[in-house]
Amino acid sequence: MKALVVLISIIVILILIREIVSLKAQKMKLKKLEIGKASLIGDREFQEDSMDIACIDNATLSVLADGRGKNKAGKLSSLLATNIFVELFKHDNSISNINYFFKRAFNITNREILKKLDDNQGGASIVCSIIIDNLLHYALVGNTMIAVFRNNELISLSEGHTANVLAKKGFYEGKISKQHALWALKEKRLLNYVGQDGFKDIEVYDVPIELKKEDIIILMSDGVHNYVPWNDIECTLKQNLTCNQIAHNIINKLNAIYLVNKDNASVIVMKYKGH
């Protein structure tokens, strides 16, 4: 009986130690990475953007999904996407093979949207980043965007999957003629996204970005990067603001711009504070 009490006491102590270590690790992680986010519903009936953040061990996942579809199909698609990414990240051994995680997460999301929303009613553009220590890994599909602000300059890391971008890429690769490319440059129709039978490859990093202290990482829906001037975003980033303040300032700039049928807009802002 005494041995059982001692064993239970040891187990309780070990659990407490594990929780304390986990809490300390979480605090260390938060010190290295400050995060803020903001969104705008615009003139739309539903907010079709969804965002989420998740942390495990020394890794932080950020995911932003921009839904598309009639009625509530867009909202359901984006929520489904962020939930799948976060659940897979928390319960899979994602850190050991991040490229595999990205491909699996996008393909499962595509399959689940098709399963739950019949006749291609829904879909979503998604951008996801995983920061491990000081390395930034990312992948996306659709017209979402990821960019890094360093040395007072905001640099886009992604291209997207609209007709004009893919036409430009096809021309440089010799797959389409100059005439067809010039015609398609005016076309911004979205060609690739999750939630369609013809879902294609994702856009994924070649080499992870090595972050430097005070680097700022931004994940944006097209409601932000298509309408807020790049210079305005850079000016906001140059100010000594918290990530939440930066995110809300960028969204507030949309309110100051007169637009007919203003779109949903969402942004996640992260500042790397490690060495």
The reply to whether 117 falls in a domain is yes
Q: Is the pTM of this model over 0.85?
A: no
Question: Facing residues of 139 across strands?
Answer: 128, 204
230 in a structural domain: yes
pLDDT surpasses 60 at 54 = yes
pLDDT band at residue 130 under the 50/70/90 scheme: very high
Q: How far apart are CA 123 and CA 121, in angstroms?
A: 7
Pair of tokens at residue 108: 């499962």
Alpha-carbon distance 105 to 96, whole Å? Answer: 15
What pLDDT, on the 0 to 100 scale, is given for residue 71? 76
pLDDT higher than 50, residue 215: yes
Say how many domains are in the chain.
1
Q: What was the pLDDT predicted at 274?
A: 83
DSSP summary character for residue 151: T
What angle (nearest 5°) sits at the alpha carbon of residue 204, between those of residues 202 and 209?
165
Query: For residue 232, what is the domain's CATH number?
Result: 3.60.40.10
At 104 the pLDDT is: 94
Average pLDDT over residues 146-162: 82
User: Is the residue at 97 inside a domain?
Assistant: yes
Residue 255 pLDDT > 50, yes or no?
Answer: yes
Confidence (pLDDT) at 112: 94
* Average of per-residue pLDDT values in the chain: 81
The answer on pLDDT for 66 being more than 70 is yes
pLDDT at position 96 is: 80
Q: Give the gyration radius of the chain's Cα atoms.
A: 21
What's the rounded Cα separation, in Å, for the pair 64 and 53?
Answer: 9
Residue 262 has pLDDT above 60, yes or no: yes
Compute the average pLDDT of residues 41-57: 90
Pairing of strands 216-220, 145-150: antiparallel
Mean local confidence (pLDDT), 10-34: 53
Which residue, among 124, 40, 48, has the nearest Cα to 84 in the 3D structure?
124
Q: Looking at the domain assignment, is residue 105 inside a domain?
A: yes
11 has pLDDT over 50: no
51: enclosing H helix or E strand: strand 49-56
| Sequence letter at residue 213 | K
Quote the domain boundaries for residue 238: 34-272
**Residue 189 confidence (pLDDT):** 52
Residue 108, exposed/middle/buried by CB under 10 A (0-12, 13-18, 19+)?
middle
Residue 268 lies in a domain: yes
- Confidence grade of residue 206 (pLDDT, cut at 50, 70, 90): confident
Give the integer Cα–Cα distance in Å for 233 and 250. Answer: 6
Q: How many CB atoms lie within 10 A of CB 181?
A: 18
Burial class of 55 by CB neighbour count within 10 A (0 to 12, 13 to 18, 19+): middle
In a domain, 124, yes or no: yes
Q: What is the mean pLDDT of residues 202-215?
A: 92
Interatomic CA distance for residues 264 and 48, integer angstroms: 7
Residue 75 pLDDT > 90: yes
Q: Is residue 5 part of a domain?
A: no
Question: What local confidence, expressed as pLDDT, does residue 22 receive?
Answer: 44
- Answer with the residue of higher pLDDT: 190 or 192: 192
Between 7-16, 128-137, 235-244, 250-259, the lowest mean confidence (pLDDT) is in 7-16
Place of tokens 């001037």: 229
Q: Is residue 190 part of a domain?
A: yes
